[in-house]
Chain A
Amino acid sequence: MMQYKELKNNQREIYFFRLRLILSLVFVLVLAFILLARLVYLQVVRQSDFATLADKNRISVVPIVPNRGLIQDRNGVVLAQNYSGYTLEISPAKVDNLEATINALSELVSIQAKDRKRFKKLLTESHTSNSYPIRSRLSEAEVARFASQRFRFPGVEIKARLFREYPYRDRTSHLIGYVGRINDKDFAELEKSDLAENYRGSDYIGKIGVEQSYERELHGTTGFEQVEVDAAGRGVRVLSRTPPQSGKTLTLTVDIKLQEVAETAFGDFRGALVAIDPSNGEVLAFVSKPGYDPNLFVDGIDTETWDALNNSLDVPLNNRALRGQYPPGSTIKPFMAIAGLDTGKRTPSYTISDPGYFTLPGNRHQYRDWKVGGHGRVDMFKSIVISCDTYYYGLATDMGIDGVHDYMEKFGFGKKTGLDMEGESAGLLPSQDWKRRRFNQIWYPGDTVSVGIGQGYTLVTPLQLAYATAILANNGVGYRPHLVKLSSSSTDPSAEPPKPPVDIDIHLKSEYLDLVKKAMIAVTLPGGTAAWAGSGASYQFAGKTGTAQVIGIKQGEKYVEKDVHERHRDHAWFIAFAPADKPRIALAVLAENAGHGGSIAAPIARKVIDYYLLGKVPPPPQPLKIKLEAEHD
């Protein structure tokens, strides 16, 4: 009985146990089903999402920086080039103690205080890249020394890259400008113009000059490499490659030899020279003295050098040709003469009797001619040759300030020429309207008088004056000045560039032009204000001298150059074109604090034209003697 009961219990027990076992089996199957459902969801439903994520994990797009285009002069002389070299770069994010790291590095590689300052400046200016150069242009020995100690410097590496170099240094600084490292401001600009993608991986951008204005052409198109990377970011293999397209080689209109001749001709004088081919607007020489070494800026300039450049009294960073604004002085007279003829205010034979000063009706104030006692009887021809002030005082008064303004505007004064370089100044062409807006004052008749001889409010840039001269030389037809050769087609670079469109066309009567041009030729002949500079020229050389006052001279006082502080002396101008009958070159020269145009500026122009037309290389410069007793303009 007992045994039976136990047996029965045992069976009941097994029954209950198996029931629970079956429940467990159901539990297992439910879990297995959940797992299966999850796997189907991940591997079927969302497969493509995860495949994309897996690719995003492993595929890294690495930019390949294009080689920057070269810049050459009109004859193919290279003015900006690339060479490969090494930089030592630090990734600040990966370095704990920057100071200590740099100190340790300086035991292997020469790092000077200058380099440290430059590095610090870079850090504050840019946050877009992850590594910054502490030293560039390492020697092979330095590279080898660092390589052997590399393990000591996590976050520091040697990079091979192309450097920009300007072999002509300060000779081309104001023309070509320079590239520099992309800073936060540059990056914001790039993003704004949707170019940031093309600059992934680029470190440099044109900052000023042609390097800046032709940045798009020079930079080229960044290539890309799809690289498979592992979790640590190491490249495993290249999946695909889109090669970069190098930047275009820019051919300038400038002749570097002419530029050299011009710079040398300046000697120790500061100033500017712009020479233009009047028949097409090509800028042949573009000088601003003094210059600076653009190579200093490429990898960031150290503060000391920067301060020295920036605070120099000579303002070498100022592009005088493009941005310098000066009173045109007497160089305005040929243009005033054309204006007088064209507006009918003067005839060629109209003659004045010059007592040596000009007075307005009902006013005793004397506007003095540069020649005490006057030039006697002066007609238009003579007024240009001997640069008679009294003649133009009267002409300006007769035309009225707005008449002068409106006519001078036709020659491009008072507005930017549209040169293919950024930062141009517009100069100033005064008018009644301008004075009201600027000073909230009415225009007085007395204001007009000195405008007639290029003083007063009028300001021009050397570029503007060169362009106006080119327009005059080309009989009133102007082609916008440009520094880079217009290319006819991308397929045939050797083809003759197309004729540029006409920018300005003042329909001028040839008799007026003949008169003014003849007078300008006479300027460089015996009896003219630039006779000395013109002597012995084998071509017809038309020009006009000018003097821009730096300080005002009080009524009744005489300007004696010797007594005036050097930097307060007048600026010397000279405009010229040659050969006069079929001009191939027109230019404007400004020599700062050089006194009068005839003695300093005109000889510079002569040397430039001699070289350009005759290939004559001037003898090496001798210390320039300032001829104080030379004839005044």
Chain B
Amino acid sequence: MINQLQRRFMAHLDPMLLGALGALMLISLILMYSASGGSMERVLGQLVNVMVAFAALWLVANMPLHYLIRSAVPIYIVGMMLLLGVAFFGEIQNGARRWLNLGVATIQPSELMKIAVPLMMAWYFERHEATLALKNYVVAALILAVPFALILRQPDLGTALLICASGFYVLFLAGLSWRVILGLFISAAASAPFLWHALHGYQRQRILMLLDPTEDPLGKGYHTIQGMIAVGSGGILGKGYLNGTQTHLEFLPERTTDFIFAVFSEEFGLLGNLVLLSVYLFIMWRGFVITANASTYFTRLMAGSITLTFFTYAFVNMGMVTGILPVVGVPLPLVSYGGTSMLTLSLGFGMLMSIHSHKTLVQS
């Protein structure tokens, strides 16, 4: 009886993927205790986030695929409306208009677009699967470009770039011709100087800091320098759990959120990093397997985009902490403190599991 219940409960969950995601979340909880300086409040908060995320993952994983397809347009429209709402009525925090107060809760609609944009694009390509022409790619690109522009205006460069990446992965997997890709890269490179002018002062600073963080060690370069010191001083074996001096003496900024990777690196060293990187790569491998075996055009595009976007998150965050990318405010997926990011990612993984399990069910 219990066995049967358990089987029913686990029916749509992919054990390997779930194991890897669980491992990251466990690392997150363990690390949260150290990063917050021993605050159980922070750990319990993250535990709640994990449980909410798991519930969302289970729900989506159990959802039949056609629900997903049907939900694409409404989610996208709601997301766009919320984004426009932010642009007109949004709350300003830390100099950026990113939040929308709905009375019950303050939400960040750009997070929702991380799912909504690839979903909508995949839905669009699925609809025009038989007669794909260049114009379809242009329309798909517009589906991406409008929210991208709105989020860039908030301004939130990090989220905008990640959404752009997730949309681009859909375009790429949908078979955008190499010539167009090449053309895009060339025009992007050519317009770089113009884009530079369009960037906000603080965004430019962050890029400049990357080139030479020591120029302003107590100002804008502080995050990067302290992050690199934490990572570097960790060495091969790390300083040991709860022993990171950069972390516990509070030299490291944003310890529980964007710079949690520095906490991990300082305390667990290169060996720990190899383990962490392996977990991410394992999730990638599993995502690729699911993508490769996905039965429909929509699911293939969706699964591929979710998988690649997930890795992009991880790479951008680690790159920013280790000083090879500018500080753009991207959390370490499933490890950094934060409910929204964890929820969005879990929704993605729920879809991935749904794609996998429902395909299997259909075949059997």
Contact = CB atoms under 8 A, between A and B. Distances in A.
Contacts of A16: 175
A39 B273 contact: yes
Nearest to A57: B251
User: Which of B229, B308, B315, B318 has the most A CB atoms < 10 Å from its CB?
Assistant: B229
A58 B266 CA distance: 14
A28 B281 CA distance: 9
User: Which of A24, A34, A43, A57 has the most B CB atoms < 10 Å from its CB?
Assistant: A43
A42 B232 contact: yes
Nearest to B278: A32
Given A42-B232, A43-B231, A28 B175 contact: no
Contacts of B99: none
B314 to A, nearest CB: 9
A20 B250 contact: no
Interface residues of B, number: 42
Contacts of B297: 13
A62 to B, nearest CB: 16
Interface string B257-291: 00000000100011001100100110010001001
A232 interface: yes
Nearest to A35: B318
The prevalent SS among residues of A at the interface is helix
Interface in A1-46: 13, 16-18, 20-21, 24-25, 28, 31-32, 34-36, 38-40, 42-44, 46
B331 to A, nearest CB: 16
A42 B225 CA distance: 12
A47 interface: yes
Interface stretch (B57-65, B75-83, B233-241, B350-358): B233-241
B232 A51 contact: yes
Contact of A44 (B251, B270, B300, B323): B270
Interface bracket on A = 35 or more
B164 interface: no
A208 B251 CA distance: 46
Nearest to B231: A42
Contacts of B2: none
B324 interface: yes
B322 interface: yes
Contact of A43 (B172, B236, B280, B292): B236
B277 A34 contact: no
Given A44-B235, A50-B228, A231 B249 contact: yes
Contacts of B323: 38, 42
A17 B175 contact: yes
Interface in B153-176: 169, 172-173, 175
B173 A43 contact: no
A391 B238 CA distance: 97
B292 A18 contact: yes
B249 to A, nearest CB: 4
A21 B291 contact: yes
A20 B173 contact: yes
B251 A51 contact: no
A162 interface: no
Given A21-B304, A42-B231, A57 B172 contact: no
Contact of A47 (B232, B249, B250, B273): B232
A201 to B, nearest CB: 23
A42 B228 contact: yes
A74 B289 CA distance: 95
B319 interface: yes
Contacts of B319: 34-35, 38
Interface string A48-65: 011101110110000000
Contacts of B280: 32
B311 interface: yes
A57 B232 contact: no
B20 to A, nearest CB: 15
Contacts of B205: none
A422 interface: no
A443 B312 CA distance: 100
B203 interface: no
Interface string A216-230: 000000000000111
A552 B311 CA distance: 103
Contacts of B322: 35, 38-39, 42
A236 interface: yes
A57 B229 contact: yes
Contacts of B234: 43, 47
A54 B169 contact: no
Contacts of B236: 43-44, 47
B332 interface: no
B256 interface: no
A58 B245 contact: yes
A460 B160 CA distance: 89
Nearest to B318: A35
Contacts of B169: 24
Given A35-B319, A43-B270, A231-B251, A53 B324 contact: no
B246 interface: yes
A578 to B, nearest CB: 72
B316 to A, nearest CB: 10
Interface string B213-241: 00000000000001011111111100000
B230 A54 contact: yes
A34 B245 contact: no
Nearest to B237: A43
Contacts of A28: 281, 284, 308, 311
A36 B265 CA distance: 12
A228 B246 CA distance: 11
Contacts of A49: 232
A25 B274 CA distance: 18
A57 B315 contact: no
A50 B233 contact: yes
A212 to B, nearest CB: 40
Given A25-B288, A46-B232, A53-B232, 18 more contacts: A16-B175, A17-B300, A28-B308, A31-B311, A34-B324, A35-B277, A39-B273, A39-B322, A43-B234, A44-B270, A47-B234, A49-B232, A54-B230, A54-B246, A55-B245, A228-B249, A229-B249, A231-B249
23 contacts: A20-B173, A21-B173, A24-B169, A25-B284, A28-B284, A28-B308, A28-B311, A32-B315, A34-B319, A35-B322, A38-B324, A39-B231, A39-B270, A42-B231, A47-B234, A51-B233, A53-B232, A54-B229, A54-B230, A54-B245, A57-B251, A58-B246, A229-B249
Interface of B: 169, 172-173, 175, 226, 228-236, 245-246, 249-251, 265, 269-270, 273-274, 277, 280-281, 284, 288, 291-292, 297, 300, 304, 308, 311, 315, 318-319, 322-324
Closest 5 CB pairs of A and B: A50-B232, A54-B233, A230-B249, A231-B250, A42-B232
